[in-house]
Chain A
Amino acid sequence: MSAPFDPNRNLANVSLRHVGKPLVRTDAPGKATGRTPYAGDYVMPGMLHAKVLRSPMPSARLVRLDVSKARALEGVALVLTARDLPDRLAPTDIPGQTGQTRLKTDQQILVRERVRYHGEPLALIAAESVDVAEKAMSLIDYDLEPWPGVFDPESAMRPGAPVVQGTDNIVARHAIGKGDIDAGFAAADMVVERTYRTQFIEHAFLEPEVGLAWVDENDVVNIRVSTQVIEHFRFIADAIGVPHNKVRIMGALVGGGFGGKEDITVEIYLALLAKHTGRPVRLEFTREDSFVGHGKRHPFILTYKTGVKRNGKITALDVRLVSDAGAYVFLSPYVLLYGAIAAPGPYLIENLKVDAVSVATNNMYTSAFRGFGSAQACVAYEQQMDEVAQAIGIDRLDLRRRNYLKTGEPTATGYRVPSAVWTERCADIAWQALGEKTPAKGAIRIGRGLAAYQQSYGRLTFLHDTSEAWVGVEVDGTVIVRSGVTDIGAGQASALAQIAIEVLGVNMENVVVYNSDSAVTPLAGTTTATRALYMTGNAARVAAEAVRGRLVARAAKAFGVPVDDVVLADNKVSALDRPDKAMSFADLVRLCATEGIQRSELAMFRAPFTDRLDPATGQGQAFADFTYGAHAIEVAVDTETGEVTVLKSVACHDVGQCINPAAVEGQIEGGAAQGQGYALSEEMIYREGRLMTPSLSEYLIPTAMDVPVVKSIILESRSGVGPFGAKGIGEPALTPVAPAIANAVADAIGRRIHDLPITPEKVVRALHGID
């Protein structure tokens, strides 16, 4: 154990008035009192209700589709099939403002002939009521002829397999090669090879997909929708064949995203129905629709071969990754790349080889999910660390300590991380915080596990990411922030408020944030990739500082002091050591206004722009920066029934700088719960492509009765590339949880279950070999 870390040590010389405090979030009162409208709360006069008819078969040919009875039903306004639409495709590539050339990954909007997954849409219905729309759906006649399908990526790679995408089902490949892998293995005292598997999982956000669309007097298609990405307006416009400036997306506070609202969901259907009927149209997915209506987390097969010296130094690592892309490409190539880059974890591996491939199948398509490939990698690399430690007979934490990547050292892609790397400190603190071990009793055994991680925040830098925010002050001294950023529940908008008031010296009740409108708020990019605070937070800070600069200059003139002596705080302007010089913030703004001094600023923040990684070696810069931390777990395992109870769940993350510690805790606690589901109970089961877990009674997310009190330990290195030295925590909070639980279970029962989820039945099989 290293010396206990004193978290207060880093507070020296930092004086922040608002940032870093658990202020009441701007979105909290409305949510707590029920006044906040979500996208599903919006209605319009004369509105129609939509439904989507979906294929019950995963691989088929549509030989007949007869919608005449549905069209004839009283109250049905419109039924659309592929035959009614021009042959346009729906883009499925990475969304946002980057202008990179699109991968050839587009998807049919409605099935023309070939069905590739269970749930693929066949027809759209708009009717006067939901009941009529459902009735109409039952009146649509169709014949589907079964078509040979392929349901796992290893079979789909074999020659002669049914082709789902492209010519050979290979959706993407990535390779990383570093050092001399053969020499590395030659130098090893022992080689440990294991294969780990992860499952399909579902985001299970509280609020299923919902939206309302209407065409306005300027022929603009307006869509109010629950989304992480308002900048899909371009893809939507392309898909329905209108110019980009004729689609406007308005978000609302989102009832959870986790990556599941990163792709287009209801928008294109709504746009088409609203355009064709000329009436407002509302579409709300039921939970069952939602389960078949958006992509899942990629199952990965991860094979790790580690060469290690007896002293614990890892000399070589050879990793093979296979991911199931499902029936359409969506974000699979990017998820795979994240997985490849994350493959060695937070360790310095000099001799590294990663081969990664993503393969199309007739399973549900897979796409973004919190952790985005890095989470799957962590499931493997942290279990592998425990396996290696056991194989060479050294302590699990010691093995990690011998190999942690340290500040200034190069990652898998040879990039030197610009921020502090506090993995060891986080891991030691989390481990210590587990406290005294719970005693075992009878059939109940106790186990402990830890997982450390490295997780990027911010997009791949070759995507050339930008974000805009506008900050302005009113003549009464109040502040307005405008930015397109979507708020998916983590307090993205509130963070901008806290940043702006920090810079401008006003209080939280004096600021309002307008966000999430593609037409009237400056485009900020997506709320994905743990990028919102990093990108938009920086943009807001830059904008606020520009405004502050002008205000302070004017105040300095009025006070006759140097600009550096002007202090903005508590809605007041004063001068250092000059009690006679003071005015209200509002008076200063009014003074600027009367003189025509600009009181607002639109700022763009640009992430580092890089080239793509070297295609042969995978070397180069992939991300701006990374977050580091660890999660520690104690479990009780009932060795007779196989039940696993999580007793203690402790997280320690270096978030760089908290903007709002209460919001950071929220992310950590949510990540702990979601990661627990990933480890123990959640699985979307597809049998021959058919979903066997169509609702929340089969798909088991942990409940309040399953999750223990989560302990969140937040460290602040103030070294990140976000505002005030912040790093990102959205995805990192989830990433280490599942492997920490897997390691704890293995520790408890002395056997490892290599495929998630670790169900009671798998535990029993591992221990007793039933049948």
Chain B
Amino acid sequence: MYATFDLDRPGDLAAALAILRTKGAVALAGGTNLIVDMRAGRERPQRVVSLDKLGVLRGIRQARGQVTIGGRTTVTDLLLSPVIAKTAPALVESARQFAGQMVRNTATVAGNIACGSPAADLVPPLFALDARLTLVSARGRRTVPIESFFIGYKKDIRRPGELISRISWKAPSSRSCALFYKLARRKGDAITVVGVAVALDVERGRCRRARVALGAVAPTVFRAREAEAILEGQTLTPELIESAAEAAAAAARPIDDIRASAAYRRHGVHALVRRLIGQAWEKLA
């Protein structure tokens, strides 16, 4: 049952931010989380502020080696963009496996980040890109690394009335490779059981930069820094890759639920980190 609420559809960002300052107001983007939660009675906002008229929040740009996308960019927008295809292949892979067509057409990137789910599929690839989030409110704006955005299960650093207006990252070099794997109980419209994004930069036969970001195996998406440290600066061997995979599995703090046991999730992290690092290395070496 839906509780009653007021719906606003402001035409500019300033107006939206002004309304969002009021108590009980919440932003509505694609609605693919919020409306589901409202129907189930988990969320009972008094004011729903639809962002659908805010064209400024939607779009994909590349300038001076920097890629910037608006928070209201949809998953389908990602899939149709040559810029994303070039600069964020792991994000494309996660977008491809995201929900089903109807949800992809309306679900947004900022909504995926802001929902705070550890299983949010776009987030591990954004971690692997060292993406930065621009947060705006009626009081001003700030930019934070995505990694410091999440502070606990469905908890983040947003202040009341703050929106994610942009997500940006540095376009990776040609000597880099990023991959994503969604392990789930079925192929379409599934909630992720283990999400793994990896990125490697290789120079002169050595791994310069390694990113291993894990989804659905801890209260938030996180980087397995121990695994990254094992790889960085090294010429990768099967043994090194194996020990990085072990480190990643050890860093995971998965739960048991009806989708999978903690033990299986940990196994999945191990298997997939090993596989993806191996594939990325093979591509670059």
Q: Which residues of A contact B (CB under 8 A)?
A: 130-131, 134-135, 443, 640-643, 645, 680-681, 685, 692-693, 697-698, 700, 702-706, 759-761, 764-765, 768, 770-771
Choose one: B189, B258, B260, B275; the contact of A640 (CB below 8 Å): B275
User: With A131-B1, A134-B1, A760-B183 given, is the CB distance from A705 to B188 under 8 Å?
Assistant: yes
- Bound state CA distance, A625 and B264, in angstroms? 46
Whether the Cβ atoms of B271 and A640 lie closer than 8 Å is: yes
- In the complex, are the beta carbons of B1 and A703 less than 8 A apart? no
Name 12 extra pairs, CB < 8 A, besides A761-B260, A761-B264: A443-B275, A641-B183, A641-B268, A642-B264, A681-B185, A681-B186, A692-B258, A697-B191, A700-B190, A703-B100, A704-B188, A760-B264
For residues 43 through 90 of chain B, which have their beta carbon under 8 Å from a beta carbon of chain A?
none
User: What per-residue 1/0 map shows which CB atoms of B113-129 lie under 8 Å from chain A?
Assistant: 00000000000000000
Give Cα A40 to B78, complex, Å: 38
Could you list 18 A-B pairs, sorted by A, with CB under 8 Å? A130-B1, A443-B275, A640-B271, A640-B272, A641-B271, A641-B272, A643-B183, A681-B185, A681-B186, A692-B258, A698-B259, A700-B185, A700-B186, A703-B100, A704-B188, A705-B188, A706-B188, A759-B185
Do residues B264 and A770 form an inter-chain contact, with CB atoms below 8 A?
Answer: yes
Q: Which A residues are in CB contact (< 8 Å) with B268?
A: 641
Chain A residues near B225: list those with CB within 8 A.
Answer: none
Q: Taking A685-B258, A764-B264, A770-B263 as contacts, is the C-beta distance between A706 and B187 under 8 angstroms?
A: yes
Q: What is the interface of chain B mostly: helix, strand, loop, or mixed?
A: loop
Are A764 and B258 in contact, CB atoms less than 8 angstroms apart?
no
- Neighbour of A705 across the interface among B183, B187, B264, B272, CB < 8 A: B187
Q: How far is the CA of A278 from the CA of B94 in the complex (A)?
A: 55
Closest 4 CB pairs of A and B: A703-B188, A705-B188, A640-B271, A705-B187
Q: Which residues of the other chain, A, contact B185 by a CB distance below 8 angstroms?
A: 681, 700, 759-760
Most buried by A among B263, B268, B275: B268
The answer for the CA separation of A134 and B190 in the assembled complex, in Å, is: 30
Residues of B within 8 A of A645 (CB): 187
Assess A771 versus B190: contact at CB under 8 Å? Given A443-B275, A692-B258, A703-B100.
no
Contact assessment for A693 and B258 in the assembled complex, using a CB-CB cutoff below 8 Å: yes
Contacts of B261 in A (CB 8 A): 761
Q: How far is the CB of B93 from chain A (nearest CB, A)?
A: 14
Contact B267 A764 (CB under 8 A): yes
B contact residues around A768 at 8 Å (CB): 267
- The distance in angstroms between the C-alpha atoms of A735 and B268, with both chains bound, is 33
Interface residues of chain A: helix, strand, loop or mixed (majority): loop
Give CA–CA (A559, B190) in the complex, Å. Answer: 69
Residue of B nearest to A639 (CB): B271
CA distance A135 to B1 in the complex (A): 9
Q: Cβ of A705 and Cβ of B258 under 8 Å apart?
A: no
Residues of A within 8 A of B266 (CB): 770
Q: How far is the CB of A399 from chain B (nearest CB, A)?
A: 32
- A703 and B258 in contact, given A640-B275, A643-B183, A770-B267 (Cβ under 8 angstroms): no
CB-CB nearest in chain B for A761: B264
| B residues lining the A interface (CB < 8 Å) | 1, 100, 183, 185-191, 193, 258-261, 263-264, 266-268, 271-272, 275
Chain A residues near B258 (CB-CB < 8 A): 685, 692-693, 698
A770 to B262, CA, bound (A): 10
**Smallest Cβ distance from A677 to chain B, in angstroms?**
9
A703–B187 contact, CB under 8 A? yes
A643 cross-chain contacts in B, Cβ below 8 A: 183
CB-defined contacts of B183 to chain A, threshold 8 Å: 641, 643, 760
On whether the beta carbons of A703 and B272 are closer than 8 Å, the reply is no
Closest to B267 in A: A770
CB distance from A74 to the nearest CB of B (A): 15
User: With a CB–CB cut-off of 8 A, which chain A residues contact B271?
Assistant: 640-641
Q: Which of A443, A641, A645, A765 has the most CB of B within 10 A?
A: A641
Inter-chain contacts of A693 with B (CB < 8 A): 258
| Chain A residue nearest to B272 in the complex (CB) | A641
Alpha-carbon separation in the docked complex, A641 to B100 (Å): 22
Q: Which residues of A contact B275 (CB under 8 A)?
A: 443, 640
Per the bound structure, the CA–CA distance linking A643 and B258 in Å amounts to 17
Measured CB to CB, the nearest residue on chain B to A693 is B258
Task: Give CA–CA (A135, B4) in the complex, Å.
Answer: 12
User: Within 8 Å CB of A702, what residues of B?
Assistant: 186
- Report the Cα distance A10→B268, complex, angstroms: 53
Of B185, B190, B263, which is in contact with the most chain A CB atoms at under 10 Å from its CB?
A: B185
Q: Which residues of B contact A698 (CB under 8 A)?
A: 258-259
Which residues of A are found within 8 Å of B260, using beta-carbon distances?
760-761
Q: How far is the CB of B121 from chain A (nearest CB, A)?
A: 14
Specify which of A640, A681, A692 lies most central, judged by the most chain B CB atoms within 10 Å of its CB.
Answer: A640
CB-based nearest B residue for A442: B275
Cα(A443)–Cα(B187), bound, Å? 18
Compute how far the CA of A134 lies from the CA of B267 in the bound complex, rounded to whole angstroms: 44
Give CA–CA (A130, B2) in the complex, Å: 11
Docked complex Cα distance between A640 and B268 (Å): 8
CA distance A135 to B186 in the complex (A): 37
For B279, the closest partner residue in chain A by CB is A442
User: A173 CB to closest chain B CB, in angstroms?
Assistant: 34
CA distance A771 to B264 in the complex (A): 8
Residues of A within 8 A of B100 (CB): 703-705
CB distance B186 to A706 under 8 Å?
A: yes
Q: A286 — nearest CB in chain B belongs to which residue?
A: B39
